[in-house]
A = this chain, B = another copy of it.
Amino acid sequence: MDKVNLEDKFALFSEHWSPKIVGELNGQHVKLVKLKGEFIWHKHDEEDELFFVVKGSFKMEYRDKTVQINENEFLIVPRGVEHKPVADEEVWIMLFEPTTTLNTGNTKSDMTKAVLDKI
């Protein structure tokens, strides 16, 4: 029941592609993540995923199109849809997604984070 300040939380970590849990409600997690560079193609069979840009911008690549998302914009990636985030510069993102969501979805790789820190 205390508030969460996004700037304060983002100041606590610097690594990329490593989501941190900052809230939980209704079986969903609120996560913060910093992205830079190119992620891997993946999908989530059971989970829709919301990406809200707090600072910077990035591109979400789908198999048939690319969407650029800027500050104060969000994108919902429906379950089952292959996607790949690409960030030319560092971007700060708030995620809303079910607590069961694995960052790399159906694709296991060195970038898979099975256990996330709560900050």
Q: Contacting A26 at CB < 8 Å: which of B1, B48, B74? A: B48
Interface of A is mostly: strand
Asked if A67 is an interface residue, CB under 8 A from chain B, the answer is yes
Q: Could you tell me the distance between the alpha carbons of A27 and B46 in the complex, rounded to whole angstroms? A: 12
Known contacts A67-B2, A78-B1: A25-B96 contact under CB 8 Å: yes
> In the bound complex, how far is the Cα of B30 from the Cα of A73, in angstroms?
12
Query: This chain: how many copies in the complex?
Result: 2
A1-44 interface mask toward B, CB cutoff 8 Å, 1 = contact, 0 = none? 11111110000000000000001111110100000000000000
How many whole Å from A25's CB to the nearest CB in chain B? Answer: 4
For chain A, the bracket of interface size reads: 35 or more
Partner of A6, one of B6, B23, B73: B73
